[in-house]
């Protein structure tokens, strides 16, 4: 199928313009080469949009060659246009999976941008630098960081010159820079840019209380997720907890925005709880379980069924505290779970473990017996006890009474 008439006409007009400016540039290059380069890149972009890649590449390259020549003579007037056209060429190559060519074009553009006064640059240039940062991530973290910082600085300047107009763009770019810092272990730098983003966000939403607080909970979840992706579960949990507190304080009915944001935050804390325990970060798993228990308790006014989750988190806490050798705390939460739900039988296993590791085998045995007596499937109940002891020993929690415990269980 051929091109439609509108495309044909646009292509013809573009070629005619270029022919005119070629002739003018031959006679007076100082006056017309810049305009010729502009029309060449414009036609290249036209071909790129219509996927006529051979012609797009040809006109991009010709435009770049001209701009290199005139920028060498007069950088103040032509360096910016060269950086932008090289960025466009890099994006063209990247989208066509020509990685080596894309890297070359992007690298040249990246080297030019620091030579330009930030006051010359606009949102288009910030976008170019962000694309460059994404292209070089994660193989070249130094270039990624510098490009992303360059985009942030452009938006800072734009926001300073036009207060309120570029706030959301600056917040977004600061968030991206923070995520990069977290992924590369620069937590202090991440905290700084996230704090700047928070400050801007708070300032831009003054006087819109409900909207601000809902959006604040959302932003806290986004920041937390950035930490979570970087496997920094402690800072992630801190963000999620702040978001949950915002929801607890302001949710009025189960159906409002706070409640729905609360559900999303809760799901993230559950993930932190599981991931941190699986990676033997027991202190974080404990904090996550405490946050969830507190949160579920606070939101019981909307749904009494949350009480069951509170009980479940107390059982988890009684298990986690064993791994940090805080046996009294383990017993406390096991008993607290059973005080809220006397039918809760699994808590007895952790309560028994807490006595075993405090050298009270007789009391541990009594509690284990109560546990087995209250389970319908004796075989599965015994397997749960055996697995618990195995998991505790694998984590380095050995005890002389474990041999006695296994011998006793075999007789049951």
Report pLDDT digits (tens) over 149-175.
999 999 999 999 999 899 989 988 998
Task: Report the 10 Å Cβ neighbour count for 22.
Answer: 14
DSSP for 177-246 reads: HHHHHHHTT-HHHHHHHHHHHHHHHHHHTTT-HHHHHHHHHHHHHHHHHHHHHTT-HHHHHHHHHHHHHH
Tokens 């439609």 correspond to 4
Reported confidence tier of residue 208, pLDDT bands at 50, 70, 90: low
**If you average pLDDT over every residue of the chain, what do you get?**
90
129 Cβ neighbours under 8 A, 6+ residues apart: 110, 113, 147, 148, 150, 151, 154
CATH code assigned to 205-303: 1.25.40
Q: Band of the pLDDT at 212, cuts 50, 70, 90? A: low
CA distance 88 to 92: 6
DSSP at 411: T
Neighbour-count burial for 112-138, b at 16+ CB within 10 Å, e otherwise:
bbeebeeeebeeebbbbbbbbbebbbe
User: What's the whole-number mean pLDDT along residues 272-289?
Assistant: 95
pLDDT exceeds 80 at position 2: no
Q: How far is CA 326 from CA 42, 340, 355, 384, 397, in A?
A: 69, 22, 11, 21, 12
| Chain CA centroid to CA 273, Å | 17
Q: Are 201 and 245 in contact (CB under 8 A)?
A: no
Q: Which residue bears the tokens 């992303």?
A: 148
> Taking the CB of residue 93, how many other CB atoms lie within 10 A of it?
22
Which CATH fold topology does 321-412 show?
Answer: 1.25.40
C-alpha distances (whole Å) from 4 to each of 7, 8, 11, 52, 363 are 5, 6, 11, 14, 87
The answer to whether 8-115 and 205-303 have equal CATH topology is yes
Homologous superfamily (CATH) of 8-115 is Tetratricopeptide repeat domain (1.25.40.10)
pLDDT digits (tens, 9 = 90+) for 319-334: 999 999 999 999 999 9
pTM score: 0.61
Residue 293's closest CA among 309, 277, 278, 305? 309
From CA 287, how far away is CA 309, in angstroms rounded? 16
d(CA 275, CA 291): 15
224: confidence class by pLDDT, cuts 50, 70, 90: confident
| Residue appearing with tokens 């840019």 | 193
Domain boundaries, the chain: 8-115, 122-184, 205-303, 321-412
Q: Do residues 25 and 13 lie in contact, with contact meaning Cβ atoms separated by under 8 Å?
A: no
Q: What integer pLDDT is reported at residue 255 of this predicted model?
A: 65
């Amino acid at each position: 199928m051929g091109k439609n008439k509108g495309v044909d006409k646009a292509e013809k007009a573009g070629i005619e313009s270029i022919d005119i400016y070629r002739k003018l540039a031959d006679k007076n290059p100082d006056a017309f080469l810049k305009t010729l380069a502009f029309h060449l890149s414009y036609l290249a972009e036209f071909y790129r949009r219509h996927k006529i890649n051979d012609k797009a590449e040809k006109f991009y390259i010709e435009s770049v060659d001209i701009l290199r020549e005139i920028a060498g003579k007069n950088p103040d007037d032509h360096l910016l246009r060269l950086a932008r056209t090289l960025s466009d060429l890099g994006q063209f190559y990247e989208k066509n999976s020509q990685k080596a060519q894309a890297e070359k074009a992007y690298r040249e553009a990246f080297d030019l941008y620091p030579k330009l006064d930030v006051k010359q640059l606009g949102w288009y240039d910030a976008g170019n630098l962000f694309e460059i940062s994404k292209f070089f991530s994660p193989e070249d973290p130094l270039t990624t960081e510098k490009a992303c910082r360059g985009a942030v600085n452009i938006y800072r300047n734009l926001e300073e010159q036009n207060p309120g107009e570029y706030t959301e763009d600056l917040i977004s770019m600061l968030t991206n820079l923070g995520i990069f810092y977290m992924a590369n272990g620069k937590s202090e730098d991440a905290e700084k840019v996230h704090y700047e983003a928070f400050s801007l966000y708070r300032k831009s939403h003054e006087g819109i209380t409900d909207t601000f607080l809902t959006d604040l909970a959302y932003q806290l979840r986004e920041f937390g997720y950035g930490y979570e992706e970087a496997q920094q579960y402690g800072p992630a949990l801190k963000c999620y907890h702040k978001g949950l507190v915002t929801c607890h304080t302001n949710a009025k009915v189960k159906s409002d925005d706070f409640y729905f944001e609360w559900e999303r935050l809760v799901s993230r804390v559950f993930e932190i709880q599981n991931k941190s325990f699986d990676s033997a970060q027991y202190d974080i798993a404990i904090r996550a379980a405490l946050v969830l228990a507190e949160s579920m308790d606070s939101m019981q006014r909307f749904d009494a069924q949350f009480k069951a989750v509170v009980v479940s988190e107390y059982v988890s806490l009684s298990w986690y505290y064993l791994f940090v050798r805080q046996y009294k705390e383990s017993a406390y939460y096991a008993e607290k779970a059973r005080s809220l739900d006397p039918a809760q039988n699994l808590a007895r296993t952790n309560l028994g473990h807490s006595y075993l590791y405090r050298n009270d085998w007789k009391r541990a045995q009594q509690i284990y017996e109560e546990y087995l007596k209250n389970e319908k499937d004796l075989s599965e109940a015994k397997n749960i006890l055996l697995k618990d002891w195995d998991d505790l020993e694998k984590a380095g929690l050995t005890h002389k009474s474990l041999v006695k415990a296994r011998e006793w269980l075999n007789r049951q």
